[in-house]
Amino acid sequence: LDIRLALTGFGNVGQGLATLLDRYGDTYLKRYGVALRLSGVADRAGAAVSLAGLDPVSLLEAKEQAGTVSAHSSGVPGLHGSDFLDRAQAHILVEAASTNFDDAEPGWSYVCGALERKMDVVLASKGSLALHFRELMENASRRGLQVQYSATVGAPVPSLQIADRALIGSEILAFEGILNGTTHQVLTAMTQGSSYDEGVRQAQEMGIAETDPTLDVDGWDAAAKVAIVANSVFGADLRIGDVDRVGIRGVTAAELAQARESGEAIKLIARAERTEAGVTAWVRPERRPLDDPLGRLRGDAMGIVFFTRPLGAIAATVDPSGESGGISTAMTVLRDVLNLARDRGWTEPHQT
Ligand SMILES: NC(=O)c1ccc[n+]([C@@H]2O[C@H](COP(=O)([O-])OP(=O)(O)OC[C@H]3O[C@@H](n4cnc5c(N)ncnc54)[C@H](OP(=O)(O)O)[C@@H]3O)[C@@H](O)[C@H]2O)c1
């Protein structure tokens, strides 16, 4: 079965997706019986569209050579918004454009437009979820459509899948995680003697830093993620502004060294818990023992621990794979796309 994807944003994540479709497209066809085709790809200068599917390699070349996919042989300079969605005629919108936490654009308009056109949605950008979570989910469910967003919450840790599948029926009391790779990379680099600025630069070179690194270092990105996970697992309706937030700018090399001498590490911990008064969430630097599931992590590794009854604490952690952040995030976008295709009955049966 051909599945058409409309992709908005062709930066680290969008290009990662094109790279992976080139790498694994044939495998997915054989293994799952689905041909994932990019029927439209948009960046700031315009878009490329083809219902037969755009060749990922030639898209990457056009982007590299001309700086925009609209220079592709199927490119249309200035094509955006509703016109883009109409022409791409996709089954699924993959939203991977840069975002913000003021108005969530351009993602919010693309997501609403996609739902109006009966497209399912897979999100890499967090703005829409951090500002409009419940509205978005209700809109999709009214229309019988799916919104998947595992890439937004500390990809590639399968936090949402654990909560949704492995912990169904159990009580989740709280969860805490290292949900932001950039700040973790900076703290690890500072522990190893680098300056704060060097740590930020390393994260940018790895393709894991947000375009505007203040979103990472001041804890906004982690706050968005903890709100999104809390909304998903607790059925809460938190917005990013409801999360108490302290970033890592105040963490000093002396504090990191002192923690280490006591067998601990300072991590930017994001935590949410269900209390009698409702769901509360916060982000702040905290000390964790070096043998703790989160305290032992290094580099840009991420992880989450769910505190549950009666199963106890369940942790999932992912060590850096060596692939760029864009590739790892794109892999989790594909995970959502393939799971969505399976839920819809588009994949062939008896395949995993
Ligand atoms: N990088 C990661 O590992 C990661 C992880 C999780 C989530 N995310 C989220 O995923 C999204 C993409 O991240 P990224 O690292 O790929 O960012 P990026 O490298 O900065 O790329 C952003 C892309 O969005 C495009 N864009 C901006 N405004 C647009 C508009 N109005 N219409 C169409 N395209 C537009 C940009 O176009 P131009 O190319 O023309 O500038 C660019 O291609 C972000 O929202 C980010 O927060 C990223």
Does 118 qualify as catalytic in the annotation? no
How many angstroms separate the CA atoms of 93 and 61, rounded? 22
Q: What is the pLDDT of residues 168-217, one digit of tens each?
A: 999 999 999 999 999 999 999 999 999 999 999 988 888 778 777 899 99
Strand partners, 4: 37
351 falls in which pLDDT band (50, 70, 90)?
Answer: low
Least confident of 100-104, 309-313, 324-328: 324-328
Residue to mutate, 15, 20, 43, ligand 1, most ligand atoms under 8 Å from C-beta: 43
Q: What DSSP assignment string belongs to 317-345?
A: EE---SS-HHHHHHHHHHHHHHHHHHHTT
Asked whether 149 and 229 are in contact (CB, 8 A), the reply is no
Token representation of residue 203: 């994260």
**Which residues contact ligand 1 via a Cβ below 6 A?**
8-14, 42-45, 68, 80, 96-99, 106, 124-126, 151-152, 155, 207-208, 210-211, 325-326, 329
> First and final CA of the chain: distance in angstroms?
16
Residue 219 has pLDDT above 90, yes or no: yes
Does residue 313 carry a pLDDT above 80?
yes
The pTM of the full predicted model, rounded to 2 decimals, is 0.95
- How many Cβ atoms are within 10 Å of 194's Cβ, its own excluded? 17
Q: In percent, how much of the chain has pLDDT > 70?
A: 99
Give 235-283 pLDDT, tens digit per residue.
999 999 999 999 999 999 999 999 999 999 999 999 999 999 999 999 9
Q: For 131-146, write each residue's pLDDT tens digit.
A: 999 999 999 999 999 9
Beta bridge partners, 285, equal: 268
Mean pLDDT of the chain: 95
